[in-house]
Amino acid sequence: MEDYLKIADRTLRSRLILGTARYPNPETMLESIAASGTEMVTVAVRRYNLQDQSSESILGLLRSGAFHVLPNTAGCYTAREAVLLAELAREALETNWIKLEVIGDDETLMPDVMELLKAASQLVSLGFTVLPYTSDDPVTARKLADMGCAAVMPLGAPIGSGGGIRNPANITIIRELVSVPVLIDAGIGTASHAALAMELGADGILLNTAISCAEHPSQMARAMKWAVEAGRAAFLAGRIPERLMAERSSPIGGMIHA
């Protein structure tokens, strides 16, 4: 039985979404994206010239690979900025999909929850398919889902930190509270982090720095692909309950006694 990730009206075979920043060169980026098996990549509206979609441009290269391009509002600090960038992306890329980021400060790069909720509400009302980057607060995640966001994207740890899943209990609670897909966004540093996120019940992972800044990006991309698949399989399999004490794995009945 196939296990697809469905977000809004789009079905993806891969549960791994990649960013496109900080690669040493476009060739390494494309090689890593291919190795990861992803079908969706995100690009910062402010970082790229959306009007240039020639075959040599980043957008042209991505689209030639038949990837779903997900524009994001990275670098926005207010709802007004984020909504404006989303509208520019919709016009230039002809997509209603937007990864919504509204940052509170330059030090932590944590979401500004009040501005995020305001922007999400406006974009949903404008017909966007909104995927918001949010804190790992279950209440905020539920508010975003209830207002009509297509997914919620709680951080595992601060952006680019490689800290992994710092509050696993919160991720589990978010998974229980919302009916839309839960995608871990930010903080993944290595394959074990990705596997843990999926074992906790996350529906997918969006990451960038862990691959683009790795010593061997394409090799790390393959590791992330396998980790996401393994973590998802373990979650679906249903792990054994944790116990404080040991429990025999072999029956003792019929044992030969000295």
CATH code for the domain of 92: 3.20.20.70
Active-site residue, from 99, 118, 143, 225: 99
Considering only CA atoms, which of 122, 175, 126 is closest in space to residue 153?
175
Residue 118 lies in a domain: yes
This prediction has a pTM of 0.89
Task: Report yes or no on 227 lying in a domain.
Answer: yes
Kindly calculate the radius of gyration of the chain based on its CA atoms and give it in whole angstroms.
20
Return all residues near 248 (Cβ < 8 A) that are at least 6 apart.
none
- Answer yes or no: is 253 within a domain: no
Q: What are phi and psi of 150, to 5 degrees?
A: -75, -20
Token pair of 47, please? 């970082």
Domain, as residue range, for 75: 5-237
Beta strands in 32-152, from DSSP E residues, in sequence order:
40-44, 68-72, 97-100, 129-134
Give per-10-residue mean pLDDT for the chain (258 aa): 89 95 91 95 79 61 75 95 95 92 92 96 97 96 97 94 94 96 96 97 96 96 97 94 83 64
Closest CA to 131 of 227, 188, 206: 206
Number of domains into which the chain is organized: 1
The yes-or-no answer on residue 225 being catalytic is no
Answer yes or no: is 66 within a domain: yes
Would you say residue 242 lies in a domain? no
